[in-house]
């Protein structure tokens, strides 16, 4: 797994800005020899520094099994060019691939990855931001609402579209982020407005 180009570290106090505009994300997870990826639209920043996030991960997902076993996961922020991939990994379960020759979604869908710095879950190449997360155990809300809280232990972004704490997609239409509505329909992140 190679590190991809254009990746640069994000100041932890700016990590919340990677999710502040409400992108649909890819959640990657790993435990032992197993790894997985799913789509998640229901995610949000929760705190500035140390940065924390909240994300809904359904009980039936294989992702949840690996997240609960490892206590870690990664949030990968995909872009327009990856919309079909988001739909594909969000409509199939890694559990169904166990024991098959292409034993996980990364192999089955030929998804390139690179190594995370703090956790075992792979990071998805071609995304525009990555947040490595450690679960903050809150069994009640996990069980009652499928809601997971986590601390961001490392954050990176594609410097072509995020630098100095700001998104700037102008001139990079394929790197604009995705916002799921329903049934595979997305809005794409649009123009920027400074209201100050
Ligand atoms: C665009 C999109 C957004 C989704 N958002 C969420 C979400 O926020 N939370 C969730 O639990 N499942 C969500 N899903 C469904 C999971 O991605 C889906 O159940 C997936 O098959 C789980 O894979 P796994 O069993 O390999 O972990 C979403 C699916 C799509 C296509």
Ranges of each domain in the chain = 7-188
Question: Closest ligand 1 atom, CA of 42?
Answer: 8
Ligand 1 pocket check for 36: Cβ under 6 Å: yes
Ligand 1 pocket check for 38: Cβ under 6 Å: yes
Structure confidence at residue 112 (pLDDT) = 98
Ligand 1 pocket check for 42: Cβ under 6 Å: yes
Ligand 1 pocket check for 109: Cβ under 6 Å: no
Q: How far is the CA of 138 from the centre of ligand 1 (A)?
A: 21
Ligand 1 pocket check for 4: Cβ under 6 Å: no
Which DSSP string corresponds to 59-111? Answer: TT-HHHHHHHHHSEEEEEE-BGGGHHHHHHHTSS-GGGGTTSSS-SHHHHTT-
Q: Is 143 helix (H, G, I), strand (E, B) or coil?
A: helix
Q: What is the mean pLDDT of residues 110-137?
A: 98
Q: What digits encode the pLDDT tens for the residues 28-71?
A: 999 999 999 999 999 999 999 999 999 999 999 999 999 999 99
Provide the CATH number for the domain formed by 7-188 in this structure. 2.30.110.10
């Amino acid at each position: 797994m190679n590190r991809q180009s254009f990746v640069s570290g994000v100041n932890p106090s700016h990590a919340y800005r990677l999710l502040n505009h409400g992108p649909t994300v890819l959640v990657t997870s790993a435990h032992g020899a197993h790894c997985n990826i799913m789509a998640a639209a229901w995610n949000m920043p929760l705190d500035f520094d140390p940065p924390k996030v909240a994300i809904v991960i359904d009980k039936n997902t294989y992702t949840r099994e690996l997240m609960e076993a490892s206590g870690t996961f990664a949030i990968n922020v995909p872009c327009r060019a990856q919309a079909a991939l988001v739909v594909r990994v969000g409509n199939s379960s890694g559990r169904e691939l166990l024991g098959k020759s292409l034993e996980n979604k990364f192999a089955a869908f030929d998804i390139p990855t690179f190594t995370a710095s703090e956790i075992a879950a792979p990071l998805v190449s071609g995304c525009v931001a990555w947040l490595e997360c450690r679960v903050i155990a809150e069994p009640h809300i996990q069980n009652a609402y499928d809601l997971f809280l986590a601390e961001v232990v490392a954050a990176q972004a594609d410097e072509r579209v995020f630098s100095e704490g700001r998104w700037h997609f102008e001139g990079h239409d394929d790197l604009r982020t995705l916002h799921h509505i329903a049934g595979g329909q997305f809005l794409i992140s649009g123009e920027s407005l400074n209201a100050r």
